[in-house]
Amino acid sequence: MEKEKANRRVKYNKKEAATALLFVLPAFAMWLYWFLYPAVKSMRLSFYEYSYINPDKTKFVGFQNFVRLFQDADFLDALSHSFIMVAVVVGLLTVISFIIAVMLQGKIRGKTFFRTSYYMPYVISSVAVSIFFMYFFIKDGPGTMIFTLFGFKNTTWFTSTRYALILVILIYVWQQIGFYMILYISGLQNISSELYEAAKIDGANKIQSIRYLTIPLVKQTTYLVVTLGMINSFQIFDQIAAISKQSPLGSPAGSTSTIVTYLYQQSFSYMDMGYGSAAAVVLFVIIFVLSLIRMLITREEN
Backbone dihedral region of 280: left (phi > 0), alpha (psi from -120 to 50 degrees) or beta? alpha
Q: Is the per-residue pLDDT at 260 higher than 60? A: yes
Is residue 210 predicted with pLDDT exceeding 60? yes
Contact between residue 179 and residue 225 where contact means Cβ atoms under 8 Å apart: no
pLDDT digits (tens, 9 = 90+) for 153-207: 999 999 999 999 999 999 999 999 999 999 999 999 888 888 888 888 888 888 8
Q: pLDDT tens across 60-84, in order? A: 898 999 999 999 999 999 999 999 9
| Maximal CA-CA distance, the chain | 84
Helices (H), 32-141: 37-45, 64-69, 73-105, 111-123, 126-136
The reported pLDDT for the residue numbered 9 is: 54
**Alpha carbon distance 172, 106 (integer Å):** 27
Please give the Cα distance from 213 to 299 (Å, whole number).
21
184 CB neighbour count, 10 Å cutoff:
24
Out of 4-18, 82-96, 196-210, 231-245, the most confident range is 82-96
Mean pLDDT of 238-265: 88
Is 16's pLDDT higher than 90?
no
Which amino acid, one-letter code, is at 248? P
What is the rounded average pLDDT of the residues 76-103?
94
DSSP-assigned letter for residue 48: E
pLDDT of 140: 92
Reported pTM: 0.87
Q: How many CB atoms lie within 10 A of CB 174?
A: 16
* Cβ atoms of residues 172 and 164 within 8 Å: no
Distance CA 173, CA 89 (A): 6
